[in-house]
Amino acid sequence: MNKIQQIQLIQIPNFRKTLIFNYSCLPKRQATKIPILIYGNPKFAGLNGNIEIVGEVKFGMIKWGWDIGYRTTGNGIIRIDGILKLKNCKEGFIHKGVDLNLDKKAILELGNNFWFGENVMIFCIHRIVMGDNVRITYQSQVLDTDFHYTINLKNKSIKPRFEKIEIGSNIWIGNRCTIKKGSVIPDNTIIAASYSVLCKNYSEIPPYSILGGCPAKVIASGIARTYGKDTLSEIEKLDLRFLDGNDKKYIIIENDDEIRNFLR
């Protein structure tokens, strides 16, 4: 068992904040099951909104404030004054230091098996929708607003300061990336670290593409992030195949079943 796994096993929820959070945002019949566990000491900046869980509700299905022991600064801030929808979500991890601001009348919709890394910031004043298996790595941000208005002095027009964001399923967003208002990211897309900025509809890109740059553009296609039933175990198995002393530049996966196991 490695150090990260040992740290994960000994974490204890903040029971006081867990109870406050669940009973403030969830219907009583769901809150009694304590589906969301709060770890550490995140700041509650507002809990006047609602959390809607669509599907089965189970104890501890969402872990919020989860600490993996490195890269984290601060405890994070939680403001839910709008609506947070968990759609058919069986589990989700929000790591320590995440800032979530859900404004009044805003809607944030999350699918199954989401994972937000350390110090991710999500700022929603309108609407953000994410599919299943979305991974947002540390210090990235998702903002559906520019916060302010600008006027085009040539035609005297003012555009909205907010626009819906749509993030598909099986998405990997590398560290320190920015997803801005109006972004549409299709399924099975990788956003390259670091400092890539997305700001438009990317629905027409080829399948299994990597987007990168500022503003982001397609830099490769036909590339999929590897997943498995036990992702850490799969990574360790691949590490051993590269560290066998033969200095491989790549390995070929010839078994189609093994390839399918890497994908979602």
By percentage, how much of the chain surpasses pLDDT 70? 94
pLDDT at 225: 84
Whether residue 208 sits in one domain with residue 82: yes
Express each pLDDT in 199-234 by its tens digit: 999 999 999 999 999 999 999 999 988 876 566 677
Distance of alpha carbon 53 from alpha carbon 19, whole angstroms: 17
Whether residue 255 sits in one domain with residue 128: no
For the domain that residue 151 is a member of, what is the CATH number?
2.160.10.10
Tally of structural domains, the chain: 2
Cβ-count burial of 12 within 10 angstroms (0-12 exposed, 13-18 middle, 19+ buried)?
exposed
pLDDT reading at 68 higher than 60: yes
Whether residue 186 sits in one domain with residue 249: no
pLDDT at 134: 97
Whether residue 234 sits in one domain with residue 148: no
Query: Are 154 and 190 in contact, with CB atoms under 8 Å apart?
Result: no
pLDDT reading at 100 higher than 90: yes
Torsion of CA 252, 256, 261, 264, to 10 degrees: 110
Whether residue 250 sits in one domain with residue 237: yes
Mean pLDDT, rounded, for 87-99: 96
Strands 77-80 and 36-38: unpaired
Mean pLDDT, rounded, for 44-73: 92
Whether residue 232 sits in one domain with residue 216: no
pLDDT reading at 87 higher than 70: yes
pLDDT reading at 125 higher than 50: yes
Whether residue 205 sits in one domain with residue 263: no
Domain interval for residue 144: 3-227
Supply the pTM of this predicted model.
Answer: 0.90
pLDDT reading at 160 higher than 50: yes
Here the tokens at position 137 are: 């790595």
Whether residue 177 sits in one domain with residue 101: yes
Whether residue 247 sits in one domain with residue 191: no
Mean pLDDT, rounded, for 1-11: 58
What are phi and psi for residue 177, nearest 5 degrees? Answer: -100, 160
Here the tokens at position 135 are: 């991974």
Distance of alpha carbon 200 from alpha carbon 203, whole angstroms: 9
